Amino acid sequence: MKKLILTLLALTLLLSGCAAGGPAGAAETAEPGRGAETAETAETAVTAETAAPEVPPLIKTVVFDRGTYQDDLGNEYEYSYELPALDAETPGAAAVNGEIDRLFGGWIREAKADMEDRLGLSVRRVGFRSRLWADVLTLELTAEMDFGVSECRFYCYEISTGRWLSSADVLKLLGVSQEDFLERCRKAFRERFAAQYESLTEAQRQDYGYYEALERCGSERCVNPELMVCPEDGKPVVLAPIPSLDGAEYRWQTIRLD
């Protein structure tokens, strides 16, 4: 028990420090830049400036790769891959690590194979941030693909039991019923969507399908029991598919339901 308390204290201190500086490994989608001139696909040397950032206890970095890809036209693009894993010997940690490697690790492996075959840069960035509430550690992973597409996932791990928590488990820990959660999501999703496009004129709203998209915010397609949830300061944080007017069906966003 003393060891668990010390571990949780260390996690809390380190995670609060990470939050002040932004998500671990997070960066904006890379714009074309300059890379090594002697290689078409170059891996940046790990130096004091490019070394993998320190991560809290119970989290280890299993992939850290930053470099530059040059296409056949001479355009150069930066990429950054940082993949975490839980550093614990439990069935729950093994399950989380296996799923992260299958999904996000798979995208990294495919991207590297594409670069080797001169097929382009399909994944610009894979990164993560971590959250801690009580003894629930959450890994939030993001993959930024080509054409502005992104994928996000929450992985919630209960340290004291070694369990991989489902969204239903998280809501139960927070004392939030599923009905209340879904209703709060409908309201929050509509508010987030409306705030994003509040500057549109009425004519633009008609042209862009604003009202149809606003209606989708409360539909079963966006609000359903399959939504991913993690805890933060005793409140549920939901991974929300917010409808988009920029050509994509929706964009993933995190919303805290206060």
Q: Which of 224, 130, 135 is nearest to 173 (CA)?
A: 135
* pLDDT for residue 22 is more than 50: no
- Pair 244, 251: CB distance under 8 Å: yes
* pLDDT for residue 2 is more than 80: no
Q: Which of 155, 98, 165, 161 is nearest to 131 (CA)?
A: 155
Q: Which of 252, 19, 26 is nearest to 132 (CA)?
A: 19
What does the alpha-carbon distance between residue 167 and residue 137 come to, in Å, rounded to a whole number? 13
Q: How confident is the model at residue 184 (pLDDT cuts 50, 70, 90)?
A: very high
Residue 44 DSSP label? P
What residue ranges define each of the domains in the chain, with the CATH number in brackets? 2-165 (3.30.565.40), 172-256 (no CATH)
Q: What is the mean pLDDT of residues 90-95?
A: 97
- Pair 23, 127: CB distance under 8 Å: yes
Write the pLDDT tens digit of every residue in 194-228: 999 999 999 999 999 999 999 999 999 999 999 99
**What DSSP string runs through 201-232?**
-HHHHHHHTHHHHHHHTTSTTTSSTT--EEEE
**Is the sign of the CA dihedral 71, 73, 74, 75 positive or negative?**
negative
Q: How confident is the model at residue 247 (pLDDT cuts 50, 70, 90)?
A: confident
Degrees (nearest 5) of the Cα angle 238, 244, 250? 50
Q: Is 134 left (phi over 0), alpha (psi -120 to 50) or beta?
A: left
Write the pLDDT tens digit of every residue in 36-76: 333 333 333 333 344 555 656 799 999 999 999 999 999 99
Residue 52's pLDDT is what?
Answer: 55
What does the alpha-carbon distance between residue 82 and residue 44 come to, in Å, rounded to a whole number? 13
- Which residues lie across from 86 on neighbouring strands? 59
Its pTM stands at 0.77
**What DSSP string runs through 108-136?**
HHHHHHHHHTT----EEEEEEEEEEETTE
SS3 8: helix
Residue 105's pLDDT is what?
Answer: 98
What does the alpha-carbon distance between residue 143 and residue 124 come to, in Å, rounded to a whole number? 8
Residue 149's pLDDT is what?
Answer: 83
Q: Which of 151, 128, 134, 108 is nearest to 55 (CA)?
A: 128
Burial of 33 (0-12, 13-18, 19+ CB in 10 A): exposed
Write the pLDDT tens digit of every residue in 107-163: 999 999 999 999 999 999 999 999 999 999 999 999 999 877 899 999 999 999 999
Residue 51's pLDDT is what?
Answer: 55
Residue 55's pLDDT is what?
Answer: 54
